[in-house]
Amino acid sequence: MEVVMKYCVIIPARYKSSRLLGKPLIKLAGIPMIIRTYQQCIKACSSELVYVATDDDRIREICEAKDIQVLMTSEGCLTGTDRIAECANQVDADVYINVQGDEPLFNPKDLEKLITEARNYPGEVLNGFCQINDEVPFRSSSIPKVVFRPDFRLLYMSRSPIPSNKEHGFEKAWRQICAYAFPKKALKDFASLGKKTTLENIEDIEILRFLELGWEVRMIQLSSDSIAVDTHEDIHRAESAIKERGL
């Protein structure tokens, strides 16, 4: 029997990005990044289930002009996941799917898979990953690398190049895709701490807070279509991919 799961998709969008100010509103081939991410999500599920979460009126106005549901959150959110936790107080669901606002090329089939796996693993924290195929992203500090057990439970995530060998070489590696599924209790535990945990703070990777709090994180293999936009170089990469894919 299929598990009945009440879910919603929330896209956190912060204007004051430390690396790219106003990142959600940066236009990619003429369309703001946050709008592109939203358009990819509603290819996989009803628009009634999708929200943008922000603390900025500029983002809210752009979204509402496109009839996108917006959840306003406080400016004091430490991370995007803390923002999702605030949204859980506004929208009732069993599972909160988080697709980052800087994923304008997010594959809708990946969202469908994440929703399916959330049904298969109720009560678990899920996070996406894919394989790294060349050394450039392996060495990039802007890309979190993932190591996991044979059952795909997360062991650790780092901005450093892991796993590596004695010669610090690149053999095989995987990167995080910023799409998650959070049960309500996990979000409550995450936010109740009120501060970043030690490893989370050092690495600047919020999923590590779950590990440090004792939660298991199950990694879900997704496609490599995603291009997270964190730098000016990423903007050019994303625009090129948008044109190549006809999006």
User: Residue 229 is part of a domain; what is its CATH number?
Assistant: 3.90.550.10
In a domain, 1, yes or no: no
Residue 91 is predicted with a pLDDT of: 97
Give the tokens for residue 198. Answer: 């030690």
Residue 3: pLDDT above 70? no
Is cis: bond before 163, omega within 30 of 0?
yes
Q: Classify residue 213: in a domain, yes or no.
A: yes
Structure tokens at 139: 């060495």
Q: How many distinct structural domains can be found in the chain?
A: 1
Question: For residues 59 and 24, is the Cβ–Cβ distance under 8 A?
Answer: yes
Q: Give the percent of the chain with pLDDT over 90.
A: 83
Q: For the segment 47-59, what is each residue's pLDDT rounded down to a tens digit?
A: 999 999 999 999 9
- Assess whether pLDDT exceeds 80 at residue 25: yes
Q: What angle do CA 137, 14, 223 make, to 5 degrees?
A: 35
pLDDT higher than threshold 90 for residue 167: yes
What single string gives the DSSP state of each residue in 98-114?
EE-TT-TT--HHHHHHH
Query: Judging by DSSP bridges, how do beta strands 95-99 and 145-148 pair with one another?
Result: unpaired
The beta strand positions in 112-213, using DSSP E, are: 125-132, 145-148, 154-158, 173-183
In a domain, 144, yes or no: yes
Element spanning 10, H or E: strand 7-13
Tell me how far apart the alpha carbons of residues 78 and 83 are, in angstroms, rounded to a whole number. 8
Beta bridge partners of 175: 130, 145
| H helix count then E strand count, the chain | 9, 11
- Domain-located, residue 39: yes
pLDDT at 119: 94
**Six-digit token pair at 82?**
């803390």
pLDDT, greater one: 165 or 247: 165
Amino acid type, 170: F
Q: Is the pLDDT of residue 19 over 80?
A: no
Strands 7-13 and 95-99: parallel
Query: Is 2 among the domain residues?
Result: no
DSSP 211-245: HHTT--EEEEE--S------SHHHHHHHHHHHHHH
How much is the pLDDT for 18?
67
Q: Quick check: is 115 in a domain?
A: yes
Query: Does residue 107 form part of some domain?
Result: yes
- Report, as an integer, the average pLDDT of 159-174: 97
DSSP state of 163: S
Cα 224–chain centre separation: 14
Is the whole-model pTM more than 0.85?
yes
* Largest distance between two CA atoms of the chain: 54
Per residue in 220-243, pLDDT tens?
Answer: 999 988 888 888 888 889 999 998
Q: Respond yes or no on whether the N-terminal peptide bond of residue 104 is cis (omega within 30° of 0).
A: no
Supply the DSSP symbol for 153.
B
What is the domain range of residue 83? Answer: 7-245
